[in-house]
């Protein structure tokens, strides 16, 4: 089983739609969680951190479910500019083991006019 798994998509949604992605992780000792955004042929950039209590930033909401070992990203009122690949990141570190920053393979979103 992969350490971090994402549905590759693509998710094709119309402008204004709400879309949600999940990311599952296998190690229950995972410590920190992030969502990154990567535009085509560009570098990844941090979108938001995912806290135990959830995190909201404008149209974006991230949540963590430790019991079921997944994180989610909800995008409301999708814009054309939201079209990108969304990467989830899970980290591990002492005392569970050595430091690891594990990227998922990404979920591709296309917002259609």
Partner 1 sequence: NAGVTQTPKFRVLKTGQSMTLLCAQDMNHEYMYWYRQDPGMGLRLIHYSVGEGTTAKGEVPDGYNVSRLKKQNFLLGLESAAPSQTSVYFCASSYSAFGDEQYFGPGTRLTVT
What part of residues 30-49 is at the interface with partner 1 (CB under 8 A)? 31-32, 34, 42-46, 49
How far apart are CB 107 and partner 1 at their closest, in Å? 11
Asked if 51 interacts with partner 1 (CB under 8 A), we say: no
Q: Which is nearer to partner 1, 78 or 109 (CB)?
A: 109
Among the residue ranges 14-22, 50-58, 70-78, 104-112, the one whose residues contact partner 1 (CB under 8 A) = 104-112
Closest to 5 (Cα-Cα) out of 103, 110, 109: 103
Part of the chain binding partner 1 (CB under 8 A), chosen from 10-18, 51-59, 72-80, 84-92: 84-92
Output b/e per residue, 39-75; b: 16+ Cβ within 10 A: eeeeebeebbebeeeebeeeebbbbbeeeeebbbbeb
Among 9, 61, 103, 110, the residue binding partner 1 under the rule CB under 8 A is: 103
DSSP letters along 42-84, please? S-EEEEEE--TT-EEETTEEEEEETTTTEEEEEE-S--GGG-E
On whether the CB atoms of residues 37 and 22 are closer than 8 A, the answer is no
Figure out which of the listed residues 82, 104, 108, 111 binds partner 1, where binding follows CB under 8 A.
Answer: 104
C-beta of 21 vs 78, nearer to partner 1: 21
């Amino acid at each position: 089983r992969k350490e971090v798994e994402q549905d590759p998509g693509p998710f094709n949604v119309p402008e204004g739609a709400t879309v949600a992605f999940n990311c599952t992780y296998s190690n229950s000792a995972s410590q920190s969680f992030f969502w990154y955004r990567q535009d085509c042929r560009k570098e990844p950039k941090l979108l938001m951190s995912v806290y135990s209590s959830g995190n909201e930033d404008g149209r974006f909401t991230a949540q963590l479910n430790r019991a079921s070992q997944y994180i989610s990203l909800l995008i409301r009122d999708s814009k054309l500019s939201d079209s990108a690949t969304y990467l989830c990141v899970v980290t591990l570190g002492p005392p569970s083991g050595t430091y690891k920053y594990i990227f998922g393979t990404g979920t591709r979103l296309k917002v259609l006019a």
